[in-house]
Structure 1
Amino acid sequence: MNTTTLPLFSLVALVAIATPGPTVLLALANGSHYGVRRSVPGMLGAVLSDFVLVGAVALGLGALLAASEFWFSVLKWVGAIYLGWLGIRMLRSRGGFEMPAEGSVQAQHGSRAIFMKSFLVAVTNPKGYLFCSALLPQFIDPAAAQTPQYIAISLVFAGLDFSVMLAYAFMGARAIRLLKASAIRWMDRLCGAALLALAGSLAFYRRANSS
Structure 2
Amino acid sequence: MNELLPLLTYCALMSGTPGPNNMMLVASGAHHGYRRTLPAILGINAGGAVQTFVTCLGLGVLFTRWPLLHAALKLAGTVYMLVLAWKLAGAGAAQDRPPERLRFAEAALFQAVNPKSWLKAVTLASVFMPPSLGLVQGALVVSGVGALIGFPCVSMWALFGSWIGRFLKSSGRRRVFNAIMAASLAVLALMLLR
Query: Is 1:191 matched with 2:189?
Result: no
The answer (yes or no) to whether the contact 1:83–1:121 under 8 Å persists in 2 is: no
Please, what is the CA RMSD of the aligned residues?
A: 2.3
Of 135-144 and 78-87, more deviation after overlay is shown by 135-144
The structure 1 residue matched to 2:79, chosen from 75, 78, 81, is: 81
Alignment partners' CA distance in 2, 1:67 and 1:125: 20
Letter aligned with residue 72 of structure 1: H
The offset of 1:22, in angstroms, is 0.6
Alignment partners' CA distance in 2, 1:122 and 1:151: 18
Alignment partners' CA distance in 2, 1:189 and 1:195: 10
Aligned pairs for 1:94-173 (under 5 A) are 94=92, 97=97, 113-173=102-162
- Partner of residue 62, structure 2: 64
The offset of 1:4, in angstroms, is 2.4
The answer (yes or no) to whether the contact 1:28–1:165 under 8 Å persists in 2 is: no
Q: 1:116 to 1:192 in 2, by over 3 A?
A: farther
Alignment partners' CA distance in 2, 1:54 and 1:179: 36
> TM-score normalised to the size of structure 2?
0.86
Alignment partners' CA distance in 2, 1:43 and 1:54: 16
The structure 2 residue matched to 1:30, chosen from 23, 28, 31, is: 28
The offset of 1:69, in angstroms, is 2.9
Letter aligned with residue 4 of structure 2: L
Unaligned runs of 5+ in 1: 100-109, 206-211
Unaligned runs of 5+ in 2: none
Letter aligned with residue 59 of structure 2: L
Alignment partners' CA distance in 1, 2:77 and 2:155: 23
The offset of 1:54, in angstroms, is 0.9
The answer (yes or no) to whether the contact 2:56–2:129 under 8 Å persists in 1 is: no
Count of residues paired in the alignment: 191
Q: 1:153 to 1:69 in 2, by over 3 A?
A: closer
The offset of 1:97, in angstroms, is 4.0
Letter aligned with residue 150 of structure 2: D
The offset of 1:127, in angstroms, is 4.4
The answer (yes or no) to whether the contact 1:42–1:114 under 8 Å persists in 2 is: yes
> TM-score normalised to the size of structure 1?
0.80
Letter aligned with residue 160 of structure 1: I
Alignment partners' CA distance in 2, 1:118 and 1:192: 17
The answer (yes or no) to whether the contact 2:57–2:139 under 8 Å persists in 1 is: no
- Partner of residue 55, structure 1: 53
- Partner of residue 178, structure 1: 167
Alignment partners' CA distance in 2, 1:143 and 1:40: 35
The offset of 1:92, in angstroms, is 1.4
Letter aligned with residue 61 of structure 2: A
The answer (yes or no) to whether the contact 1:36–1:170 under 8 Å persists in 2 is: yes
Alignment partners' CA distance in 2, 1:92 and 1:192: 9
The offset of 1:91, in angstroms, is 1.2
- Partner of residue 13, structure 2: 15
